[in-house]
Amino acid sequence: MNKSLRRFCVAPMMGYTTPHARRLYRILSKKAFLFTEMIPSNTLIHSIKKNYIIKNNNQNPIALQIGGSNYKNLIQCSKVAQSYNYDEINLNVGCPSKAAQKGNFGACLMKEAHIVRDCLKAMLDNFDKEVSMKCRIGINKENSYNFFKEFIDVTVSSGIKVIYVHARNALLND
């Protein structure tokens, strides 16, 4: 995929970047890089409404953003993304919501860089297009350059080449 297409991205927004909204965004811009809203891996795997949630309808370039920490589930999600013709699958390691924390995904995974690395590697091994990650610069009071650098150093050892950084801390309920 042409990397210049990422110059203008429409950020994933829970409850807003629905298939209908993405269709509108695509009408407004043929070149914007779109994301789905973050979909928990369990929802993607088990939902009977999966087709409605992730239908693509030629909205490319587009990334499927998922949340999860179980590499086996993320492998299944990668295969789903492949079958729906997504250009990219994105692991959300930035969402601070209570639901993400309860499900052990999103920003709380920044405490577990090795798990994130293993998940990304499993996704790379099962998706023949781009695998990326979205993260924050830190969590709670862990916002030093060293914390962020160590997290990135571990996760890029998975082989990913694209990281989207939401340049602020995630505030978690510890």
Could you tell me the CATH number of the domain that includes residue 120? Answer: 3.20.20.70
- The rounded distance, in Å, linking the Cα atoms of 154 and 151 is 5
Q: How far apart, in Å, do the first and last CA atoms of the chain sit?
A: 39
Asked if 143 and 118 count as a contact pair (C-beta separation under 8 A), the reply is no
- How many CA atoms does the CB half-sphere of 33 hold within 13 Å? 19
User: DSSP of 54-94, one letter per residue?
Assistant: H--TT--SEEEEEE---HHHHHHHHHHHHHTT-SEEEEEE-
**pLDDT value, residue 3:** 58
- As for how many domains the chain has, the answer is 1
Q: Which domain holds residue 134?
A: 3-170
Catalytic residues: 95
Q: Check residue 174 and give its pLDDT.
A: 64
Relative orientation angle of helices 145-156 and 113-124, to the nearest 10 degrees: 30
User: Over its length of 174 residues, how does the chain's per-residue pLDDT go in tens digits?
Assistant: 555 567 788 877 777 888 888 888 998 988 899 999 999 999 999 988 878 778 888 889 999 999 999 999 999 999 999 999 999 999 999 999 898 999 999 999 999 999 999 999 999 999 999 999 999 999 999 889 999 999 999 999 999 999 999 888 888 886
Whether 131 contacts 120, CB under 8 Å:
yes
Cα dihedral 120/125/127/132 (nearest 10)? 20
